[in-house]
Structure 1
Amino acid sequence: MTSPALVAVGGYSTSGSGRGTGIALLRVTPDDSGAAAETLWEVAAADPSFLLWSADGSLLHAVTETSPTHVLTLRVAEDGSSGEIIGDLELAGSGGCHLAPGTRPDTLLVANYGSGSVETVRLDAEGLPVELLDLDDHHDYAEDRDPHPHQVVRLPGTELIAVPDLGLDRVVLYRQVQTGHIEPAGEIPFSRGSGPRHLAADHESSQLLVSCELSGKVGVAVRGEVPQDVGALQVMRGPELEWSVRSMVPASGRPEESALSHVELAADEHHALVANRGPDTIALFSLAGMRPELVAEVPVGAHPRHFTQLGTTILVAAQESDRIDVLRRHQDTLEVAGDPIPAPSVSCLAPRP
């Protein structure tokens, strides 16, 4: 048995057929028969699409997929017994879908899918969002395209921030300067129609795995020397770092068309997990070879939007089935580990650090 974990759960509450309350905290205890879950509390919130804990686990930030976007902050009791909203900052963008810490510790970065922008938020000494510092509009790079930034990721081993943009078919790279503002620092282009949505980087960012929603493929971008005569190879060049897109592989072995959502590396960095909407599966890839190899694929509930890992246990947010599926991985195997946990319109999962 694994020790209990506190897992924050976001659920769509107003958009479309949203059936959730907003934000809940579960105590999840993985065991041999799956995972036991107890709901500790729920807080009403409008369409939280992604959640982020502070480093010490005392605060929980949420971004809302609303117009305009809001960043909410909850204070959570040390034992997880209570949570209350203590911060609410309205942003300029709309359709917020992801947030992450900036490279400056007093900032958060927000991806707005709806308005096609990335915003920088300043936190006060208590860690509460108090000011919109900066807005970078991806329409400035769009030409004839409709930008949809979908995630914000700090690249380990670098000072770079990566933003996959599904509408622009590229990963936009930024550096954050001393004032907290972000400045463009390059890009990793993908072929038209790929739709990069989320990415996962190893501990040095020597390899990036990118889930491409529109093509149904996982892209692998490798950091290192790039030959001068690259021909058709797609390349990002920066003043210090460069990546090349080495391969694109289908994320599912099923016949249904797949719209990828989330991708994560396993702790050993020798495996990766990918969520496929359409086939409604979680796929397990081995990264031992030159290209990712699909080694297992397990059906889950409808529209797996997000997932998270608790050791070898994987919790899957199956949005349209109103449930969290429980899987277990052992090396190259992946299996259903127990009964799903009820969770209306679940959008995201965030284990407390």
Structure 2
Amino acid sequence: MTPTLIATGCYSSAGSGRGRGIELLEWSPEQGARVLATVDLPDPSFVIWSADGTLLHAVLETSPTRVVTLRPGADAASLEVIADITLRGEGGCHLALGPDGRTLIVAEFGSGTVETILLDEDGVPAELIDLDDHHDFAEGRTPHPHQSVLLPESDLIAITDLGLDRVLLYRQDRLDGHIDLAAELALPTGSGPRHLAADHESSELHISCELSGKVATAMRKPPGTGERSFVGDGSSIESTWDVTSNVAASGIEGENAVSHLELSADEHHLLVANRGPNTLSVLDRGQQAPQLLAEIGVGAHPRHFTQTQGHILVAAQEADRIDVLRLDGGDLEVAAEPIPSASVSCLAPRP
């Protein structure tokens, strides 16, 4: 197989970890991994590629938040910083391309805000154009936005807020790029929604709940049938999904700060990373509620994972390694020796 280029974000020695900031790895199941390039940046907590794979965007979990864009050199043997924007909030933990492809949407856990950055015609960050403060509808609670996800077959952007126990659903204005609150999904108190995965039609949403150790599943309701609630400016928003189940993400007793989750390529299974048990779980989606099928041990503090070339690569942050697994039907197995990567926080295969 042709090797995959994988960007990693690592909490760095220049920040709060032991890693080297951003690494570019060349990886294949047959040959393993080798490091091609590194850039020392403080605490890049999440990285994503541009749609064409020519640029790499990173959010730095700093105060204030920074967003850095890098361009790989020939054969990815180097990384050049071509943009470095300082935002107004702090503690940025996730970023995603907006639905228009012309913006970056940044979730800031520390300040409870979501910021939108306009990209220029070359896809490089140009300016901050919008800031949405979740304190505006926190009702005395402390907001902690954690992730933004574009919902398939929809014009909605789902932003999980761990502090508010809600998933806030935004729409982006096609003219100015600003995002506006359109709907919400309320979760049980104490859930702590962290990450979200949707099926190809967004009929089902699965949410990893860091504080409860569970996976919540929400089913979409017919348009116009949701309850409406009022937000800080007096306007009302609709609830368009209903939580239908809450199941334990791990079969191991004890605390579980669930982190990332994804659907398998065929959407038959749900993969979930568990911090505390330090496992990766596979759940069957074919029942009324997801059911635990298998669970395998991985390195300490599995913060994130990705799927590529028929394998699952798990970022085990406190074990300083990337575990290499394979999903075989409904079972998980170790596919290769772990890849060393200090304080690794996220993984992004190049498209």
Same fold (TM over 0.5): yes
Q: Distance in 2 between matches of 1:11 and 1:138?
A: 27
Partner of 1:51: 47
Deviation by residue 1:250-292 (Cα, 9 ceiling, x = unmatched): 0000012101000101110111100000000000011111110
1:270-281 → structure 2 map (5 Å cutoff): 270-281=268-279
1:186 is aligned to 183
- 1:104, distance to aligned residue in structure 2 (A): 1.9
After TM superposition, the score normalised by the length of structure 2 is: 0.94
- CA pair 116-6 structure 1, distance change in 2 beyond 3 A: same
Q: 2:348 maps to what in 1?
A: 350
Correspondence for 2:99? 103
Aligned equivalents of 1:238 and 1:143: distance in 2?
A: 15
Alpha-carbon deviation of 1:49? Answer: 0.4
After superposition, where does 1:71-82 map in structure 2 within 5 Å?
A: 71-77=67-73, 79-82=75-78
DSSP-derived class of the 1:340 partner? strand
Match of 2:318 in 1: 320
What residue identity is the alignment partner of 2:154? T
Q: Distance in 1 between matches of 2:73 and 2:206?
A: 36
Query: 1:319, 1:337 → 2: CA distance?
Result: 19
Give the 5 Å matches for 1:1-353: 2-14=1-13, 17-31=16-30, 36-77=32-73, 79-177=75-173, 178-225=175-222, 242-353=240-351
Structure 2 distance, partners of 1:238, 1:271, is 32
| Kept after mapping to 1: 8 A contact 2:226/2:240 | no
Q: How big is the shift at 1:83?
A: 1.4
Q: For residue 196 of structure 2, what is the amino acid of its counterpart?
A: L
Partner of residue 234, structure 1: none
Name the SS of the counterpart of 1:140 in structure 2.
helix
Deviation at 1:16, TM superposition (A): 7.1
8 A Cα contact 2:72 2:80, kept in partner: yes
For the 8 Å contact 1:226–1:244, the answer to whether it is kept is no
CA drift of 1:151 comes to: 0.2
Q: Supply the distance in 1 between the matched residues of 2:300 and 2:251 (Cα, whole angstroms).
A: 17
Cα distance in 2 between the residues matched to 1:149 and 1:336: 33
Distance 1:229 1:36, change over 3 A: closer
The alpha-carbon distance between structure 1 residues 228 and 38, as it changes in their structure 2 partners (threshold 3 A), is: closer
Q: Could you report, residue by residue, the CA deviation over 1:100-152 in whole angstroms, capped at 9, with x for unpaired residues?
A: 01122211100000000000001111111111100000001111211000001
Q: Secondary structure of 1:156's match?
A: coil
Amino acid at match of 2:56: L
The separation in 2 between residues aligned to 1:135 and 1:227, in whole angstroms, is 29
- Alpha-carbon offset, residue 11 of structure 1: 0.4
Identity of aligned residues (%): 60
Contact 1:12–1:49 (CA under 8 A) maintained in structure 2? yes
Q: How many residues align?
A: 342
Do 1:63 and 1:97's aligned partners in 2 also have CA atoms closer than 8 Å?
A: yes
Secondary structure in 1 aligned to 2:208? Answer: strand
State the shift of 1:78 in Å: 5.5
Cα offset, 1:204, TM superposition: 1.0
Compute the displacement of 1:15 (Å).
Answer: 7.5
Tell me the equivalent position of 2:233: none
- TM-score w.r.t. length of structure 1: 0.93
Q: Secondary structure at the match of 1:139?
A: helix
Q: Is the 8 A contact 1:312 1:330 kept in 2?
A: no
Which 4+ residue blocks in structure 1 deviate beyond 3 angstroms?
Answer: 14-17, 225-230
Which secondary structure does the structure 1 equivalent of 2:75 belong to? Answer: coil
Distance 1:18 1:229 in 2: 44
Q: Deviations over 1:51-80 (max 9, x none)?
A: 010011000000000000011000113532
Judged with a 3 Å threshold, the aligned counterparts in structure 2 of structure 1 residues 15 and 167 are, in CA distance, closer, same or farther, namely farther
Counterpart of 1:246 in 2: which secondary structure?
A: strand
RMSD: 1.8
Cα distance, 1:225 vs. partner? Answer: 3.2
| Cα distance in structure 2, aligned partners of 1:63 and 1:16 | 13
Partners of 1:3 and 1:30 within 8 A in 2: no
CA distance in 2, matches of 1:318, 1:46: 19
Aligned residue for 1:57, secondary structure, equals coil
Please say if residues 263 and 274 of structure 1, whose CA atoms lie closer than 8 Å, have aligned partners that are also in contact.
Answer: yes
Relative to structure 1, the CA distance from residue 80 to residue 196 in structure 2 (aligned partners, 3 Å threshold; closer, same or farther) is same
